[in-house]
Structures are given as C-alpha cells and as structure tokens.
Amino acid sequence: MTIKDWPTDDRPREKLLLRGAEVLSDAELLAVFLRTGTPNKTAVDIGRDLMRGFGSLRQLLDSPAEAVLAQEGIGTAKYALLMASLELGRRHLAQSLTEKELLTNPNMVKNFLRAKLRHQTHEVFAALFLDSQNRLLSFETLFTGTLDSCAVHPREVVKRALALHAPSIIFAHNHPSGCAEPSAADKQITQRLKSALALLDIRVLDHLIVGNSEVVSLAERGLI
C-alpha cells in the first residue's frame, strides 16, 4: 500500500495543509521532503527508519553525508533536499535577526547560534555585529581553532567592528566537547575584548557558548 492509498487525514502532506506542520511527527515531516519511498517502503517508513537509526532529527541532519546516503531510500537528490531545508531554517533565523531588537529576543539569538555553531567539529569564534537599534548588521566567523581552543585577537575584532560601524557586539563560540560551561579562558578573553572595545565606545552585550544541548549566556550569569 502506498501513501496515496491511505485516508486523506493520515497522509503527511495533506495533514500539514489541513492542520499545520506542527502536528506532524518527525518521520512524517521527513516524508514530506522525501516525497517518495521505495518499492517496499513508503516515505513515512523511511522517515521512521531514519529516526530509529539516528535517534533524532538533529543527529540525522548533523551526520556526515556518507552516513545518511548509506540509508535505504536516500539518494543524492533526497539528501540535497534535506540539506536545503536545514539551510532554509538557518537563513530564516538570520533574516529575522536583522528585523528585530535582539536584546528582547534572546531565545531567537540562541536558536540562531545553535543552528550555526553546534555542528562544528572544532572551536569557532564568531560575532554578531549590531546597529544602534540592536539589530543584526552582520554575523561573521572571526577565528577558527582546534578541538578544544581558539586563539582570539582583540585587535582584529576592533578593526572589523570599526569597518562595520557597529556600536555593539555579541560574541559566540562553540565547545565541540558538548559542554557549554564557560572556562576560565572564556571569561578572560571576554574581559579583554570588552576592555579593548570600550576604548572606542563599542559595547559587548553578551558572549554565548554553544554546547550540544544548551547555550550559555555570560551576561545572564553576570559575567559581562
């Protein structure tokens, strides 16, 4: 039996159109993107297999291409659709940040940084350069490091902030270990950056650390 033979209310695409995407299970959402199954399995069956095999959508979408392409029913075209859906979500978040005052939308900022940095396998130090209304001017990766460290050069940060005419900045970096707790080095570089930028009246609003399951804000902990 194919999905076309199912009752209309049970078909993922029709269910989405009638009741909204939020009512779909992870496997059903995947089926909408996969569109077709195999001679032996529906797209929903393949979605369920992917969820059992990878454990979660995050694990699936963060996995190497070869691991996903090794699954039954997943070819290069379907893999490309999944990666495109992930990038659409990231770009939607990024564009939303340019339209909203970020200090009143901390969860949006955390979600954006989680999408941008959590999958990185080495430390990446980035910055959100903001305008006078605390809206996003530019998100940029400034420095790339190793598995457990990243050298940050305040002079280069200052030069970039001046080039963008950014009066305030939010810093962010990931911990590939998965633990988002700030280290002594994280706190130290935050204060160095804050002091260097303060000389030019550029404010450091926050420094967020991205782990596997959480994003820690130094500002929320009173460390800015």
pLDDT digits (tens, 9 = 90+) for 44-55: 999 999 999 999
Q: What is the largest CA-CA distance in the chain?
A: 69
d(CA 47, CA 28): 7
Q: Which of 49, 65, 91 is the last residue of a domain?
A: 91
Per residue in 98-131, pLDDT (tens digit) is 776 666 778 888 988 988 898 888 999 999 999 9
* 76 and 53 within one domain: yes
Q: Is residue 223 assigned to a domain?
A: no
User: Does 208 lie in the same domain as 161?
Assistant: yes
Instruction: Look at residues 68, 91, 114 and tell me which one is the last residue of a structural domain.
Output: 91
CA distance 215 to 60: 20
The answer to whether residues 33 and 74 belong to one domain is yes
Range of the domain at 19: 3-91
52 located within any domain = yes
E strands in 60-174: 124-130, 136-144, 168-174
Residue recorded with tokens 């996003």: 136
- Do the beta carbons of residue 172 and residue 126 sit within 8 Å? yes
The region, left, alpha or beta by phi > 0 then psi within -120 to 50, assigned to residue 172 is beta
Inter-helix orientation angle 154-164/184-198, to 10°: 50
Read off the tokens for 190: 């935050």
Residue pair 126/146 in contact (Cβ under 8 Å)? The answer is no
**pTM of the predicted model as reported, rounded to 2 decimal places:** 0.69
Q: Are residues 65 and 7 in the same domain?
A: yes
Query: What are the pLDDT digits (tens) for 40-92?
Result: 999 999 999 999 999 998 889 989 999 999 999 999 999 999 999 988 888 88
Number of domains into which the chain is organized? 2
- Write down the pLDDT at residue 58: 83
Q: Is the pLDDT score of 155 beyond 90?
A: yes
